[in-house]
């Protein structure tokens, strides 16, 4: 499956001098040393109102040479995160033969249940099956004893969730949200066109490279609508989702009934992610699972971003370049009734 060689990127002309100076590496170091000022990052993320399309070469020199399965060729620098329900550690590493910075995900397979192993296998297979610039690519996959190593491109700005927690705790500007989600939705649309439901859309699964490319990750929960050569209108696969992803799941997916669900469940998750980025809070996060389910299924009309309690002057976008207040601004907070 291909989508040409075009990839959606931010217009990062203002970032190029910083990138040339190793800005991506400095950001990762600062995440651990806490030396990067909030204003530094905001200045480096100057975005235009309209995202632009740039040509993405079908392969880069790095992707051609970084296919080594020799563990000694990868020098781990620092752990930059964890994933897969804390079973996977994510590291910034250097491919020593070329000096290229890469991301290394390491998972101890002995700690994984059979369901987890199947999810890992699915993510690895699909990462090679899909060909789209806004879908995260795995360069190399190999095992070292019981440890699974996955080598992928280094995303200098990390995930949207990391940016949110570290530099935008009260929410991002609407312009930044729009640019981030536009790239993620483009990748999601590619999955939907190929009959797949992502089922795990959230800020931590949206990655941003140093040159502004947004990619969608988290393919371990992905499910196909196509079976035996036929595309079905709905699916009835209900895996045991971890509590870490439930706030983003749609009511029809959580309901687990004979109606099933389809690609529209991902659109619900995109909406929750937009609220997450705008407010700095995850809707439903502090709710008990049963309460969350009832709220989504039978509760009163619910607005994850209820701004009615804020004066109009306080709910305006601080950094909107269009001058229009859409109600999804960085000055908007989640009300206590939504937590």
Tens digit of each residue's pLDDT (9 = 90 or more) over 80-97: 888 887 889 999 999 999
| Highest-pLDDT range among 49-58, 196-205, 226-235, 285-294 | 196-205
Q: 320 lies in which domain range? A: 160-338
Whole-structure pTM over 0.75, yes or no? no
Smallest CA-to-CA distance from 131 within 205, 65, 211, 215 is with 215
Residue-level pLDDT at 288? 82
Tell me how long the chain is.
339
Let me know if residue 154 belongs to a domain: no
Count: domains in the chain:
1
CATH number at residue 183: 1.10.510.10
pLDDT digits (tens, 9 = 90+) for 148-188: 999 999 999 999 999 999 999 999 999 999 999 999 999 99
Let me know if residue 209 belongs to a domain: yes
Contact criterion met (CB below 8 Å) for 204 and 160: yes
CA angle centred on 250, ends 216 and 214, rounded to 5°? 15
With cut-offs at 50, 70 and 90, classify the pLDDT of residue 12. very low
Let me know if residue 165 belongs to a domain: yes
């Amino acid at each position: 499956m291909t989508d040409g060689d075009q990839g959606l990127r931010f217009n990062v002309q203002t970032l190029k001098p910083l990138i040339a100076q190793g800005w991506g590496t400095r950001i990762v170091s600062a995440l651990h040393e806490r030396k990067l000022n909030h204003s530094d990052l905001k200045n480096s993320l100057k975005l235009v109102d309209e995202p632009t399309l740039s040509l993405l070469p079908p392969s880069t020199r790095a992707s051609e040479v970084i296919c080594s399965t020799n563990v000694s060729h990868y020098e781990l620098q620092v752990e930059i995160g964890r994933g897969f329900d804390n079973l996977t550690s994510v590291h910034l590493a250097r491919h020593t033969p070329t000096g290229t910075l890469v991301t290394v995900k390491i998972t101890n397979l002995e700690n994984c249940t059979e369901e987890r192993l199947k999810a890992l296998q699915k993510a690895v297979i699909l990462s090679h099956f899909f060909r789209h610039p806004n879908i995260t690519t795995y360069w190399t996959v190999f095992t070292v004893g019981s440890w699974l190593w996955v080598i992928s491109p280094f995303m200098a700005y990390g995930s949207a969730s990391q940016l949110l927690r570290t530099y935008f705790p009260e929410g991002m500007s609407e312009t930044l949200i729009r640019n981030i989600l536009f790239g993620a939705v483009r990748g999601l649309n590619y999955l939907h066109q190929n009959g797949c439901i992502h089922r795990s859309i959230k800020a931590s699964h949206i990655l941003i490279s140093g040159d502004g490319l947004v990619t969608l990750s988290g393919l371990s929960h992905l499910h196909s609508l196509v079976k035996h050569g036929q595309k079905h209108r709905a699916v009835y696969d209900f895996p045991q989702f971890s509590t870490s992803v439930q706030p983003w799941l749609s009511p029809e997916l959580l309901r687990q009934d004979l109606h099933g669900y389809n690609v529209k469940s991902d659109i619900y998750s995109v909406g929750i992610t937009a609220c997450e980025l705008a407010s700095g809070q995850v809707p439903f996060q502090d709710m008990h699972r049963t309460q969350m389910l009832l709220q989504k299924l039978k509760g009163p009309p619910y607005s994850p971003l209820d701004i009615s309690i804020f004066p109009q002057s306080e709910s305006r976008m601080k950094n909107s370049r269009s001058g229009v207040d859409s109600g999804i601004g960085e000055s908007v907070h989640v009300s206590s009734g939504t937590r």
